Structure 1
């Protein structure tokens, strides 16, 4: 009678059983899920670390104000700015100013973004469009658009149009330039490969040109939002009756430093919020892209 001998190493069954556990490093895809969990953990810690510097600045600012190093007539303490903001929010005036500024910024950014995307795509995709559109726009972008305020007042008056136009001008050029550059930076071999695979011109735009240019377009959008808010600061100081810029100018006339600082903080928070929204949309739209991760 023949006796069968087992060649299985001690503990091999346990190893096999452990490897079958989902998420374990030994399981199929376990190492990948473990690495993803580690990245999420590092990302959470990184987000908290990003708040350290702003909080430290606020703490130092508050301490310097309370110690008398920063006089309130020059720079109001953060606690006083917060108290003033609460008071203005309670009486409803702050909400009206913020809503007016958001409306102007939204209209101006929408117009600037639409024109920038359209003309950038036309110049980037068409040789004729490049010859006719790009040269005058390259010359025009060298002009500081905020220096055009006197001329814009002569052309379109001092009403809402000049404020929206300034925001649109500030947003237009970053989007145009990055759309144009994003299209022109696409590898020609990818387009030729798509053509050889039988893709139509519309399909090549959809599957090659658009994904390839999206990273550059998102950079342009983020720059455009920053330039748009900067333009709004100047625009709301021209014959405005409401808006954050008007609130700042009125407070300056009465030496209300706390309201001036409050307006600047609101501008900064609105700019930060718009940038965070764009970054969130960018992560979703470009989920296929794998970039360098900081260590």
Structure 2
């Protein structure tokens, strides 16, 4: 029964992409689209296969994934820790939150030229840009998660004489986990967005560089391969967090549609 439900869910989730690809291929076959600008899915798959066989795709993908993960770990961990601290202590909120909220409203694209001027086109500027993008979603959601914890739980923790560490690990984190996991999903998506920006602005390796190089040589199929790779890897990371949600939030009795 569970397998049948899973198969139906996968089929429903795949229906729209499969339909779009079929219509796209038919449009190319009937000359409704210019194959130089919109190569068909079959042509794109051939480019994908050639890049996989040559090892070029995995080389650039590995570098992009490493950049995104390092930036996410630095920015996400900072956002989580500071968000919990600001949520727990009002003095910390009064000290840090106004500045962080002000920085949060500054578009990342406006900061990118400064990062390049300060740190050059090397790895440091890219990782810092990704870290900054990953920081804010986890910070905001961690802060809101702590503030949404029922005050009665803190009263119980005081009665049981929990230390501050036990209050955080036994009360705050479990109760704030839905918000934290939401922040993690948003941070991962922003990390991929910032990675694209960083690699398109200046890189000699990575999927973003691959797209930029293919655009310069009118290899439109390779551009689409890069876009699809970003979409697929982004979806996989989002699905990984959803698996964590299913395991860590089993206790929730929430509406599922």
| Alignment CA distance shift 1:44-1:198 (3 Å) | farther
Q: Deviations over 1:152-189 (max 9, x none)?
A: 11211121111111111111100100000100111112
- Conserved 8 A contact 1:146-1:166: no
User: Relative contact order (alpha carbons < 8 A, sep ≥ 6): 1 or 2 greater?
Assistant: 2
Quote the RMSD (CA, aligned, Å): 1.5
Counterpart-to-counterpart distance in 1, 2:47 and 2:62? 18
| TM-score normalised to structure 1 length | 0.83
Name the CA distance, whole Å, in 2 between partners of 1:213 and 1:230: 26
| Normalised TM-score (structure 2) | 0.95
Q: Are positions 1:181 and 2:144 aligned together?
A: yes
Q: Which residue of 2 aligns with 1:8?
A: none
Relative to total residues, which structure has the larger helix share, 1 or 2? 2
- 1:57 equivalent in alignment to 2:50: no
- Give the 5 Å matches for 1:49-198: 49-198=12-161
Is 2:219 the counterpart of 1:256?
yes
Runs (5+) with no aligned partner, structure 1: 1-36
Kindly name which structure, 1 or 2, has the bigger radius of gyration based on alpha carbons.
1
Q: Distance in 1 between matches of 2:42 and 2:108?
A: 36
Q: How far has the Cα of 1:40 moved from its partner?
A: 6.7
Q: What is the rounded CA distance, in whole Å, between the counterparts of 1:183 and 1:163 in structure 2?
A: 31
Aligned length: 257
- Cα offset, 1:48, TM superposition: 2.3
For 1:275, the equivalent position in structure 2 comes to: 238
Structure-2 residue corresponding to 1:201 = 164
> Which residue number in structure 2 is paired with residue 14 of structure 1?
none
Deviations 1:199-234 (A, max 9, x none): 333322222211111100000010011111011111
CA apart distance, 1:266: 0.4
Counterparts of 1:129 and 1:261, CA distance in 2 = 46
Match of 1:265 in 2: 228
